[in-house]
Structure 1
Amino acid sequence: MKLFTKSFFLKTWLSWLMITFLSSCLEVKKREPAIYLIPEGYVGALYIVFNAPNGQPPMYEGNSRVYHIPPSGVLVTQMDANEGWSESSEIKYFSVSQSGKRVPISTVSEDTPDNKRALYSGGLGEAGPIFGCTVINKKFTIGMKSERTDSNKLLTIFEAIKVKNIDKKLFEGMC
């Protein structure tokens, strides 16, 4: 019985030590708050391409990153991908009129009516080669449900760059 108790204690202690050691190796990074400014009436796929030396310089409002999506729907920025966790209240989406007026945009949820304009935020991904480089990008779709799922409006990043005439110079120096 004494041997069993010592063995159990040793196994428990070693398990605790291993878990403590491994958890100390994990870094849970918090991402910066973000504001996404999307052209009023834009429908379809939106992309943000990160780490482009010739892209749009970083923009901030307070401590929030600002991603001002151009009418093309493809923002090429110098900022990094801003990975990590964040509170949903720290991420804001706005439709922006030509006069600069901001109107909040809701994100897609189970309760979003099919006829309501909403934004679906995808994850980070890699695409390439784009002008010879593999790029880190984030994709969004915006519109009513039928528009967010219409393959004619959902250009791939390759199609968007070609169709929207995105300047090749923005991608120079990325690879």
Structure 2
Amino acid sequence: MRTTLIFLSLLFIMIGCSTGGEQEVLVVPKNFKGYVLVIFDQKNGQPIRYMGKKRVYEIPANGILKTQFKVNNGWRDLTEYYVNEISPENMLPSFVEAEKIPKGKTVGFMGETGTVKKNSKSTERVEFSEFYIGARSDIEKAKNLVEKLDIANL
């Protein structure tokens, strides 16, 4: 009994100390397929915008959004993906495992969040998140393209 109480107490402390991230909403242009890069903490980036308590990222046609938002650390629900505007009929299904994407279906897919140095002599870092829009084959092609990008200099 005592062990159970200690375990539950520790569990509640850990849950209380953990920070949750903010829910994200990603809006891509009509007919967009490929990678999306969200580059955080950019002074001249897209201004911060919320829909309720959810961050809204309006993605330009080139798929690269520079935003004034700070990086979104912490646990959160799956990103919501929309085409053209935020409405139920424009919502794409969200996936985090590529092998579970139904063949031929256009979806939103969460990639990675990372940090790169601005250059080899600097301590300044660029924080970013990757997302993908498309069918599984589109996502695989887009991942190969992202690997070749010099994110620090976008």
Give 1:54's match in structure 2, choosing from 37, 41, 44. 44
- Output one character per residue of 1:122-141: Cα deviation in whole Å (capped at 9) or x when no partner: 231012436x7521000011
Which structure 2 residue ranges, 5 or more long, are not aligned? none
Count of equivalent residues: 146
Larger Rg: 1
* CA distance in 1: counterparts of 2:58 and 2:139, whole angstroms: 20
CA, structure 1 residues 53+115, in 2 after alignment: closer, same or farther (shift >3 Å)?
same
SS at match of 1:150: helix
Give 1:94's match in structure 2, choosing from 82, 105, 122. 82
Report the TM-score when normalising by structure 1.
Answer: 0.66
CA, structure 1 residues 71+87, in 2 after alignment: closer, same or farther (shift >3 Å)?
same
Give 1:75's match in structure 2, choosing from 65, 68, 89. 65
CA, structure 1 residues 84+152, in 2 after alignment: closer, same or farther (shift >3 Å)?
closer
Aligned to 1:105: 92
Report the TM-score when normalising by structure 2.
Answer: 0.74
CA RMSD in angstroms comes to 3.4
> Is 1:65 aligned to 2:55, yes or no?
yes
CA, structure 1 residues 92+24, in 2 after alignment: closer, same or farther (shift >3 Å)?
closer
SS at match of 2:69: coil
Amino acid at match of 1:94: Y
SS at match of 1:55: coil
Report if the CA contact (8 A) 1:115-1:145 is conserved: yes
Over the matched positions of the two proteins, sequence identity in percent amounts to 25
* CA distance in 1: counterparts of 2:18 and 2:73, whole angstroms: 10
Aligned to 1:142: 133
> Is 1:125 aligned to 2:100, yes or no?
no
CA, structure 1 residues 64+155, in 2 after alignment: closer, same or farther (shift >3 Å)?
same
Aligned to 1:43: 33
Q: CA deviation at 1:53?
A: 1.5
- Output one character per residue of 1:58-114: Cα deviation in whole Å (capped at 9) or x when no partner: 0112222110011110000110112112234xx421011xxx575101123555321
> Is 1:158 aligned to 2:129, yes or no?
no
